[in-house]
Structure 1
């Protein structure tokens, strides 16, 4: 069973001590150990830490990138929360 996260859960993971998580589509990814491997540098990933990175991800990457790295980095899925 895949772990589920809220956007608030992800927002709590925005530094290397707590782990750096991002959201792409409905997936939650732990990119902490990927920072130095990222061809665009760690700086841009740190800027997106704890946030929904879907729009910038798809602006600069194709599906092949998610296919290549997604399984290694995905830690769960985003849950829908009720908006009152």
Structure 2
């Protein structure tokens, strides 16, 4: 069962102690356990932790990466804050 997060919820998960969460499109991923496996290095994931990393992700990856790792790392979806 997946959880629904606000962008503010995800923003609190920006350290190894609180968990490293990122947003890609409308999905939230916990990349804490993936940091050491990331081919680009841990520094990149730590830099985008707690943020929407969609732009950076799609610049360097394609759909096959999400198919390979997405189900293992996804912890929920993000709901947008109310738009005024």
1:34-78 deviations in Å (ceiling 9; x for gaps): 000000000000000100000010000010001000000000000
| Partner of residue 21, structure 1 | 21
Distance across 2 between alignment mates of 1:40 and 1:4: 28
Which residue number in structure 2 is paired with residue 68 of structure 1? Answer: 68
Aligned to 2:11: 11
CA offset digits 1:4-31 (Å, max 9, x no partner): 0000000000000000000000000000
Q: Paired residues, what number?
A: 84
Q: Structure 1 segments of 4 or more deviating over 3 A?
A: none
Which ranges in structure 2 are unaligned for 5 or more consecutive residues? Answer: none
Give the TM-score normalised by the residue count of structure 1: 0.96
TM-align CA RMSD: 0.8
Q: Which consecutive unaligned segments of at least 5 residues does structure 1 have?
A: none
